[in-house]
A = this chain, B = another copy of it.
Amino acid sequence: RTLRIGLIPGDGIGREVIPAGRRILEALPSSLKLNFSFADLDAGFETFRQTGAALPERTVEILKKECDGALFGAVSSPTTPTKGYSSPIVALRKRLDLYANVRPVKSVASAVSPIDLVIVRENTEDLYVKEEKTYDTPQGKVAEAIKRISERASSRIATMAGEIALRRQRVRDSTGSGGAAKKSMVTITHKSNVLSQTDGLFRSTARQVLSQPQYKDVEIEEQIVDSMVYKLFRQPSDYDVIVAPNLYGDILSDGAAALVGSLGLVPSANVGDGFAIGEPCHGSAPDIQGKGIANPIATLRSVALMLEFLGEEKAAAKIYEAVDGNLEEGKLLSPDMGGSAKTDEVVEDILKRL
C-alpha cells in the first residue's frame, strides 16, 4: 500500500519536527509493505506574511485530491492583532471536516502513578466557529462571540469516544496490560450548570450515544469542566477516555500534557471520515526555534496516531514501541525532558529501535 502524506511544517519548530516525522515513515521496516510519498505544503504566519493567506487554497486542494493523511507542525500567532490573519489549523479542521481531535496522554510505564488517558475533543464548533462581532455603546466597545453546539457534532464525537474506549479495552485485553483491569470509561466534560442549553445538549447527546447497547461495557461518567481540571491533577490515573467540546478539550489537553512532564511528548490527530492529520500538541516555540533542540517525540507519536486512524495499527505500534524504548532508557532526551540531546540525536536513537 502506498500512502501519500501532506507535510505542513508551518512556523518555528514545526520546521524542525515535521522532517523527523517524514524520516520515521521512511524508516519503517519493509516487512510492513508500506510505501510513502510526500507533498510539501505551506501554511502559517510566515506564509501569511508572504502571500496574504495563512492557509493557501493550494494546500487544501492537494490534501483533498492527492493525500491520504498529513502531518501538521505548528504555527505562530501574531503577537499583535493582525487584520486578515486567522489560524490555519482551525480552518483546516473545518475545511476537511476533521471532527475529532484525539490526544492520548500516557506516562512511561515505570511511573509511580501511571497515567494512560485520551482526550477526545470536538474539533469543528463551539467558540471555534469564530462568529464574532464588535459594537459601540455609550460605555465603550462590546464584543460578542457565538458558542455553537450541535446534536450532530456532539453525537459523532461521542461515537468516536465510545469506539476509542472499546478499542483501548481490546488492546488491554489482548496485551494483558493495564494491570488490575482498568475499566473502560468515558467521562463527559461540560459546564451545563451554567450553559444549560449548549453544554446541556452536548451532555445529553453524548449520554444518549454512549447508552447504546454496543457500549454497554463502557461506563459513563460526567465532570463539570472546572472540577475535571481539578480531578485531572489530583487523580489522573482514574481516567480513561475524556470527551469534551472544542474549547474545554483544548484546555484539558494542555493540562494533561503538564502531568506527563512535557508538551513535547504529547501527540494529537485531527480525524475525519477517511482522513487524519497528525499534529504535535506543542506550539511553534519561538524561544527555541533554530536551535535544533525541539523534542521530536510529540511529532513521532502523532505520526503513529495518524497511521492508526488510517488503519495501519501495526506500523503505529512499531513507532510507539520505539519511542517508549527511548524514554524508558532515558539516555537520549531533549532539554525539555531534562536531557541535552539534540532533535536529530533523539530521532536517530528512536529510528535504531524500529
At the interface, yes or no: A200 with Cβ under 8 Å from chain B? Answer: yes
With the chains together, A123 CA to B148 CA distance in Å? 22
Decide: A146 and B148 in contact? CB cutoff 8 A. Answer: no
> In this complex, what residue of B is CB-closest to A80?
B204
Q: Mark A184-205, 1 if CB is under 8 A from B, else 0.
A: 0000000111111110110010
Decide: A148 and B144 in contact? CB cutoff 8 A. Answer: yes
Q: Mark A236-261, 1 if CB is under 8 A from B, else 0.
A: 00000000000100110111011100
Within 8 A of B (CB), among A133-160: 133-134, 137, 139-152, 155
Decide: B130 and A195 in contact? CB cutoff 8 A. Answer: yes
> If the complex has contacts A139-B150, A147-B147, A194-B90, are A227 and B201 also in contact, measured as CB distance less than 8 A?
no
Query: Chain B contacts of A155 at CB under 8 A?
Result: 140
At the interface, yes or no: A283 with Cβ under 8 Å from chain B? Answer: yes
Contact of A233 among B90, B132, B201, B233 (CB under 8 A): B233
CB A28 to nearest CB in B, in angstroms, measures 32
Contact of A258 among B140, B230, B263 (CB under 8 A): B230
7 tightest Cβ-Cβ pairs between the two chains A and B: A140-B151, A233-B258, A132-B197, A77-B193, A226-B254, A143-B197, A230-B254
Give 14 new A-B contacts, CB below 8 A, not counting A87-B193, A133-B197. Answer: A81-B200, A87-B194, A127-B147, A128-B194, A132-B195, A137-B150, A144-B147, A144-B197, A145-B147, A225-B251, A227-B254, A229-B251, A229-B255, A233-B233
